[in-house]
Structure 1
Amino acid sequence: MDEVDTRDRTLLALTDMRDDGLILDRPSMTVSVAVYRSKPVVRIRVEASSTAPVRFDGIVWVRPGPTTRKANRDDERVLTERRRAADGPYDSRPAAGSGLRDLDLELFRSAYLPAAVGPEVLEENGRPVEQQLASLRLATPDGTATAMGLIVAGYDPTAFLPGAYVQFVRYQGSDLDAPIADEQELRHNVMAVADRLETVLRGHLHTRIVEAGGFREEQRPDYPLEALRELCMNAIMHRNYETSYAPVRVAWFDDRIEVTNPGGPYGQVRSDNFERVNDYRNPSLAAAMKSLGYVNRFGRGIGRVRAALARNGNPPAGYLIDDSSWSVTLRSAQ
């Protein structure tokens, strides 16, 4: 075995590899001198990264089996999801700087708690509110509100989650240059947003008279409210609250409605299987919204939208999905 240079200058040069900007995020690394088979060696210990994927000179490398290769998009997504799994879902993490003062405790007691645990359990439950909030993941045991707590029962979720609101715009035309007839930002918790959004949507719906057979006529809206509600609430449930400050957007044109949310396919969902496969970026929020009756958690939302559009005489919905967003377009019934 050749003699290894173990001088301080060499150790410093090896340590500088961590800080030369080629490895991102910078690794936790120690360089020291050790003895192997009675010979001095340089020992480099690199801790496993908690912020995978790690890039070297802008490239992620993976080692499946005995080979090493550049990571493809699916490889990077798996690495990212493993990191998030270690941290736990974002919706159950504490929101730094928040507290129980930021939660509407009366709304929690009167509306969410009975829906989440049932009246029978509630009647027997004598625990203090702090424990009830923690057990339902709306807050941590030390009294910090979680992201889910702010979304479900916060006074103003956007104080800590800047993108946690719905933007509604009604255009008088068919493109973004058309005059705006109505514009609203719904910066409330999900229960208040649901109530307000239903009022806004109903206010812009128009009905038409159609023949129902047997000399009967009936009124039908240009869009089925059931489909609009399903798409909007699912957008709130599935959106990316962690790394995007964009809102859920509802753009209503003369000939269509576009519902867009920040957050592309998650987990096992892909752009080619989303109609039959479901997964949950925000599992605690999904459970909460199901308890409140706003969504169905068993992957039937797209089917319900399809059925509602067909019954009302609307064309099928169009979907535009990429890595960072999800957009659904509804066309007016003819």
Structure 2
Amino acid sequence: MKVVNVDDIALLLKQGHNHQTDWFAEHTPSQTLAETLAAFANSHGGTILIGVIGQNGIINGVQDVDTTIDHVLEAALSLDPPLIISMPRQVRLKNKTLVVVQVPSGMPYVYALNDGRYLYREDTQNSPLNPRDLRRLMIERGQINFETEVVSGASFDDLDWNKAGEYVSNLRGTSDAKTEDVLLQRGCLVQQDGRTRPTNAGILLFGRDPQRFIHGSEITAVRFAGEAMGDTFTRQDIIGSLPDQIRRAETFLRDNLRKGVHLSTTMTREESYEYPMEAARELVVNAVAHRDYSIIGDGIRLFIFSNRMSVTSPGGLAGPVTIANIKDERFSRNPIIVQVLSDMGFIERLGYGVDRVIALMREKNLHEPTFEETNGGFRVELYNRNVSDEGSHPTAPATPVFNGIYNNVAINPRQEAALIYLHEEANTRITNSDLQSLFPDVHAETIRRDLAGLVEKNILQKKGQKRGSYYVLAEN
């Protein structure tokens, strides 16, 4: 919570100590302040109030504001690396002066105390990070690169050199380069003890059997019948190299997303999925490119429900990226994977797809995607309902469906198609040629009789003569 005024401070005191709020007396030891500063910085940020005591948050104020601010900044700079925060500020509340210290979320490093301890915030406590969580946090913030680590037990022969060779042959400016040299340059191979060894990135991108070495590096794709998980579903476990997984996931989407058929303004039949296919594919590519592969035993989950599509990937948002700035901030924990997938044409190197997905959903008058950090992961969801009239984006008129009846009069499918066309905002008239273009295999005389039949049923009115004739909706 960003503290803006005294009302915000009053709310924090009312809520009490928690994972993002703590308070101390004026003369609290530097080490105590440093511990909470480090814990907040290694978690999701937080606010420290100086001049408050006791569990119930009794305000006793600060007498020497300048010295207190210096004390806080010294504690922040004592961390390794030094923690750079905004200047603490003084606020008056109940005739007392408080010093407000804020640690933003999405800090770029993992911070240690001067005695070497790493802490994180767990509810109201500053707790030590265990080695596994510390390593994961360092990977998330780019201080350790999982991609470039050598794969234990893997050898030169565990790469699919046909796939690697095809990748290199399609790269610009590498026509004369050896495949091995290019993979070394990309970070997919490293020299170790006089031997060439594959890295985690190399195995994931070009491995013959990546899941043998990196457990959990797969996609679980499921289509459920309803809005929640149930007993009726279609499931596919998608394994293989990352490029292969993306291709297979796209096939799963095409096979399992619902399709609808509508008439375009030019009277052509257009088939569309319940979500823009490019947006759905983009979410899968993003998950494959940016998930945390150091998390063993947990893969990407692609779940399609009747009302939404959900993509959950292991690992929280990386580096300085937060839910609040996800549309603008750019950071990748897997730069090698991102680069190679970009070389292959799967993603744009300079963009990570969020803006594109939002734009695609807006174009189809669907709600923007929702983003959520889960316990140990990150989830994006698309919803297939239209934006409401009160929403930020106007709702396009829905395409009508008559189901063979119009104004209590039976109509055939061709007549229904003609009426759907006329009910679209851009269309006020229809001709024989318009309807013929929709049903090119139907004889022209049948098309003429269909439209004439709608005139007889007092649904359409005919205007003009011979070649200049057209039909409009009858005024009832």
TM-score, normalized by the shorter chain, greater than 0.5: yes
Check if 1:162 corresponds to 2:215.
yes
Q: Matched residues in 2 for 1:290 and 1:149: separation?
A: 15
Q: 1:86 offset after TM fit, Å?
A: 8.5
Distance verdict in 2 for CA 1:179–1:78, change over 3 Å: same
Distance verdict in 2 for CA 1:221–1:92, change over 3 Å: same
Match of 1:148 in 2: 201
Match of 2:295 in 1: 243
**The one of 336, 339, 360 aligned to 1:308:** 360
Q: Matched residues in 1 for 2:40 and 2:368: separation?
A: 41
Check if 1:134 corresponds to 2:189.
no
Q: 1:163 offset after TM fit, Å?
A: 1.6
Indicate the larger mover: 217-226 or 207-216. Answer: 207-216
Q: Deviations over 1:107-148 (max 9, x none)?
A: 1102x2134x32x422x22x4x44333222111122221111
Q: Which amino acid aligns with 1:91?
A: E
Q: Which amino acid aligns with 2:168?
A: L
Match of 1:10 in 2: none
Q: Matched residues in 2 for 1:286 and 1:99: separation?
A: 23
Check if 1:105 corresponds to 2:161.
yes
Q: Residue 185 of structure 1 aligns to a residue in which SS?
A: strand
Distance verdict in 2 for CA 1:144–1:279, change over 3 Å: same
Q: 1:77 offset after TM fit, Å?
A: 5.1
Check if 1:114 corresponds to 2:169.
yes
Q: 1:217 offset after TM fit, Å?
A: 4.8
Q: Residue 220 of structure 1 aligns to a residue in which SS?
A: strand
Aligned residues of 2:308 and 2:383 also touching (Cα < 8 A): yes
Q: Matched residues in 2 for 1:313 and 1:241: separation?
A: 35
Check if 1:66 corresponds to 2:74.
yes
Q: Which amino acid aligns with 1:169?
A: V
Q: Matched residues in 2 for 1:268 and 1:76: separation?
A: 6
Q: Matched residues in 2 for 1:61 and 1:259: separation?
A: 28
Q: Matched residues in 2 for 1:134 and 1:239: separation?
A: 23
Q: Matched residues in 1 for 2:138 and 2:372: separation?
A: 27
Q: Matched residues in 2 for 1:199 and 1:86: separation?
A: 33
Check if 1:257 corresponds to 2:313.
no
Check if 1:189 corresponds to 2:241.
yes
Q: Matched residues in 1 for 2:252 and 2:209: separation?
A: 20
Q: Matched residues in 2 for 1:289 and 1:152: separation?
A: 8
Q: Matched residues in 1 for 2:142 and 2:379: separation?
A: 29
Check if 1:281 corresponds to 2:336.
no
Distance verdict in 2 for CA 1:138–1:167, change over 3 Å: same
Match of 2:351 in 1: 299
Aligned residues of 2:295 and 2:315 also touching (Cα < 8 A): no
Name which one, 1 or 2, has greater alpha-carbon Rg.
2
**Same amino acid, percent of matched pairs:** 23
Check if 1:89 corresponds to 2:145.
yes
Q: Which amino acid aligns with 1:255?
A: N
User: Normalization by structure 1: what TM-score?
Assistant: 0.72
- In structure 1, runs of 5+ residues without a counterpart are 1-54
Q: 1:83 offset after TM fit, Å?
A: 5.2
Match of 2:439 in 1: none
Q: Deviations over 1:70-116 (max 9, x none)?
A: 99676695336995588652112211111112110111102x2134x
Higher relative contact order (CA 8 A, sep 6+): 1
**The one of 77, 89, 110 aligned to 1:78:** 110
Q: Matched residues in 1 for 2:212 and 2:368: separation?
A: 37
Distance verdict in 2 for CA 1:289–1:75, change over 3 Å: closer
Q: Which amino acid aligns with 1:102?
A: D
Q: Which amino acid aligns with 1:114?
A: S
Q: Matched residues in 2 for 1:324 and 1:77: separation?
A: 18
Q: Matched residues in 2 for 1:233 and 1:76: separation?
A: 24
Q: Matched residues in 2 for 1:233 and 1:148: separation?
A: 16
Q: 1:223 offset after TM fit, Å?
A: 1.5
Q: Deviations over 1:213-268 (max 9, x none)?
A: 36555322111111111000100111011134310110111111100101212112
Q: Which amino acid aligns with 2:159?
A: L
Q: Matched residues in 2 for 1:272 and 1:258: separation?
A: 20
Q: 1:333 offset after TM fit, Å?
A: 5.0
Q: Deviations over 1:267-321 (max 9, x none)?
A: 1211210011110101111111111111122235111111222233432211112
Please give the root-mean-square deviation of Cα atoms over the aligned residues, in Å. Answer: 3.1
Aligned residues of 2:107 and 2:320 also touching (Cα < 8 A): no
Distance verdict in 2 for CA 1:298–1:133, change over 3 Å: closer
How many residues end up aligned between the 2 structures?
Answer: 272
Distance verdict in 2 for CA 1:319–1:155, change over 3 Å: same
Q: Which amino acid aligns with 2:182?
A: Q
Check if 1:233 corresponds to 2:285.
yes
Distance verdict in 2 for CA 1:209–1:104, change over 3 Å: same
Aligned residues of 2:307 and 2:385 also touching (Cα < 8 A): no
Q: Matched residues in 2 for 1:222 and 1:145: separation?
A: 41
Q: Matched residues in 2 for 1:135 and 1:197: separation?
A: 29
User: Within 5 Å, which residues of 2 pair with 1:163-182?
Assistant: 163-176=216-229, 178-182=230-234
Q: Matched residues in 1 for 2:361 and 2:138: separation?
A: 39
Q: Which amino acid aligns with 2:255?
A: G
Q: Matched residues in 2 for 1:61 and 1:233: separation?
A: 32
